[in-house]
Amino acid sequence: MRTLICGSMAYDNIMVFQGHFSDQIMPDQIHILNVSFLVPQLRREFGGCAGNIAHNLKLLGGDPLIMATVGSDAGPYLTRLDKLGLTRTHVRQHANALTAQAFITTDLDDNQITAFHPGAMNFSHLDHVSGWMDVDLAIIAPDGRDGMLLHARELAAQDIPFVFDPGQGLPMFSGEELLNFVKLATYVAVNDYEGKMLEERTGVTLDKIAEGVEALIVTRGAEGSSIFTSGQRIDIPCVKADEILDPTGCGDAYRAGLLYGISSGLDWRKTGQIASVMGSIKIASRGGQNHVPTREEINAKYLRAFGESL
């Protein structure tokens, strides 16, 4: 089953603050915030939700098709897609813009502060979902605002089931727009913070949102995740990582596991467990796409964690 990945492709500039944000930010002075973090470590990585999700889905043996927009500086990223065997037929390059850029600062508690320049992502609405793509499943991950709205309508019009994953793009939308996304989507995936924001923006509880989709997935970092489906709550434990190095892209790795499970027709518990394994593999590697386990290695980690094979 081919899976359409609608979302951002970006360069991640990752900085590590050798301290704790909580020690530097005074809550009672937040209205006059003026904080500087010394970051002796800086790396530039390939990232963006679409790139990260596609990379992880490919590792699992899935068939991802990326639809994204990049800028004039995208040459190294396009070359990387070719090396990874990821089709870039629907990766549109714009000469008058830069590829999206994320500037991510992580502290020693794995908290993150991110600034994001959308760049060419703002042109995502110029791409369209068409029947000849031959996809059976899709995900709408953070992307240009207009593109996300358009692609949701196009997928629903063509009866292609999709995951709505607003991520850090959630604040771009009104409560009415978010409810329309949920109405069109087959599945919704959020982390716990995004879930609270979704409730606040829409005025609708997550329990009620779960009633309108086939599954609502809520991730909680080290506390695992929960899948709400058919009136049930399935709790998925966090899989212990070999090492905790960098949380960047862990949510995307988890979502790749969800897509793999859905496209393979697996039950929700196993789907969530695969997603949890992918998140634990990612966090042991720096950057969103530098982990390269074989399918056999993924299976071995799944077997150790859950006592069964994939």
Region 177-189 average pLDDT: 98
Give pLDDT tens digits for 219-269: 999 999 999 999 999 999 999 999 998 888 999 999 999 999 999 999 999
Q: Give the global pTM.
A: 0.92
Please give the pLDDT value at position 32.
84
**Percent over 70 (pLDDT), the chain:** 100
Q: Alpha-carbon distance 119 to 121, whole Å? A: 5
Please give the pLDDT value at position 1.
83
Burial class (CB in 10 A: 0-12, 13-18, 19+), 252: buried
Per-residue pLDDT band for 272 (boundaries 50, 70, 90) equals very high
Per-residue pLDDT band for 128 (boundaries 50, 70, 90) equals very high
234, two tokens? 């399935």
The answer to whether 69 and 120 are in contact (CB under 8 A) is yes
Q: Say if residue 202's pLDDT is above 80.
A: yes
In angstroms, the first-to-last Cα distance of the chain is: 17
Tell me the domains of the chain and their CATH numbers.
Answer: 2-28+36-306 (3.40.1190.20)
Region 78-102 average pLDDT: 96
Q: Which residues contact residue 158 at a Cβ distance below 8 angstroms, ignoring those fewer than 6 apart?
A: 129, 131
Point out the least confidently predicted range of 40-49, 51-60, 117-126, 190-199. Answer: 40-49
Tell which wins on pLDDT, 70 or 310.
70
Point out the least confidently predicted range of 32-36, 138-142, 271-275. Answer: 32-36
Chain centre distance of CA 165: 7
What mean pLDDT value characterizes the chain?
A: 95
Q: Which residues contact residue 45 at a Cβ distance below 8 angstroms, ignoring those fewer than 6 apart?
A: 11, 12, 14, 248, 286, 287, 288, 289, 290
The answer to whether 287 and 45 are in contact (CB under 8 A) is yes
Q: Alpha-carbon distance 210 to 37, whole Å? A: 40
Q: What is the 3-state secondary structure (H, E, C) of the chain?
A: CEEEEECCCEEEEEEECCCCHHHHCCHHHHHHCCCCCCCCEEEEEEECHHHHHHHHHHHHCCEEEEEEEECCCCHHHHHHHHHHCCCCCEEEECCCCCCEEEEEEECCCCCEEEEEECHHHHHHHHCCCCHHHCCCEEEECCCCHHHHHHHHHHHHHCCCCEEECCHHHHHHCCHHHHHHHHHHCCEEEEEHHHHHHHHHHHCCCHHHHHHCCCEEEEECHHHCEEEEECCEEEEECCCCCCCCCCCCCHHHHHHHHHHHHHHCCCCHHHHHHHHHHHHHHHHCCCCCCCCCCCHHHHHHHHHHHHCCCC
Please give the pLDDT value at position 22.
87
